Chains A and B, each alone.
Chain A
Amino acid sequence: MTCTEFLAQLDEMLDQDAAIPLRADLQEHLEDCEHCEITLSTTRKTIEIYRSHELYALPDDLRERLHKAILAKCKKC
């Protein structure tokens, strides 16, 4: 398996839903290729880091204001 072929299957590795025979090939490539091993681990970390940080929290006061505005508009419909 080449690095390009591995990269084409990166999503399957990240999403853990690769069919088992394919997963074995991917795993074998990873054992001998530091380049792809780092690509996989840092891409996985990228997803984790974005998932675990709330970048745009909705503050309570704004939330309340939005609720009132939405419900007032809906009532007028």
Chain B
Amino acid sequence: MAAYEKLVKQYDRQVFRIAQHIVQNREDAEDVVQDAFLKAYEKLDQFQGNSKFYTWLVRIAVNESLMRLRKRRTGRMVSIDEDVETEEGSMPRDLADWSPDPEALYGQSEMGDILRKTIQGLPPGFRVVFVLRDVEGLSTEETAETLGLSIPAVKSRLLRARLQLRERLSRYFKRGQKQQAQDGVK
């Protein structure tokens, strides 16, 4: 049990973050953390050791998160394939450069709100790939294994997710630049 406690302490923050990104609700994310660690403990004997414990745990947490999301949407199926056939994010449109640096335009908390709002607008199937690959730093192969997707599917979703986020953030950052220019004139 002491060894397992160590694993909980090692990975709880990541599991909480991933769950929050998927379920977008703190209470559900808390439940996911508890259920994921409990399930992993119960199934420890099934852990093959041919993948890292962390990716195995993340797979359990992602499944638990999708189940929560489904429950909240009163039984409607939610899968990582949902809404992935969007046209947005194929060819970039909003092409203003981000200068000055957006981080100089917004305070830490305001930036956090913008980033949360922006990523929450992505379909779950794009959001989860972006979070695992770019935020949590899993490799393309690990992300594919965790989500049960092919490597080309991960790559394609990642590209679309990155481009959609870029496009959506651009709308904020352009507005911020305009505001700053106006303030400068006053």
Residues of A at under 8 Å CB distance from B?
3-4, 7, 10-11, 14, 35, 38-39, 41-43, 45-47, 49-51, 53-58, 62-63, 66-67, 69-71, 73-75, 77
Bound CA span A41–B97, Å? 8
Residues in A neighbouring B159, C-beta threshold 8 A = 7, 10-11
Residues of B at under 8 Å CB distance from A?
1, 4-5, 8-9, 12-13, 16-17, 20-21, 29-30, 33-34, 37-38, 41-42, 91-92, 95-98, 102-103, 108, 111-112, 115-116, 119, 130, 134-135, 155, 158-159, 162-163, 165-166, 169-170
A interface: dominant SS: helix
If A11-B159, A55-B116, A70-B38 touch, does A47 touch B13 (CB 8 Å cutoff)? no
* Contact across chains for A70 and B8 when beta carbons are under 8 A apart: yes
Q: Which residue on chain A has the smallest CB distance to residue B131?
A: A50
* Contact across chains for A56 and B4 when beta carbons are under 8 A apart: no
* Contact across chains for B21 and A56 when beta carbons are under 8 A apart: yes
Residues in B neighbouring A43, C-beta threshold 8 A = 162-163, 166
Residues in A neighbouring B170, C-beta threshold 8 A = 42
* Contact across chains for A74 and B1 when beta carbons are under 8 A apart: yes
Bound CA span A41–B112, Å? 21
Residues in A neighbouring B9, C-beta threshold 8 A = 67
* Contact across chains for B38 and A56 when beta carbons are under 8 A apart: no
Bound CA span A17–B56, Å? 26
Residues in A neighbouring B96, C-beta threshold 8 A = 38
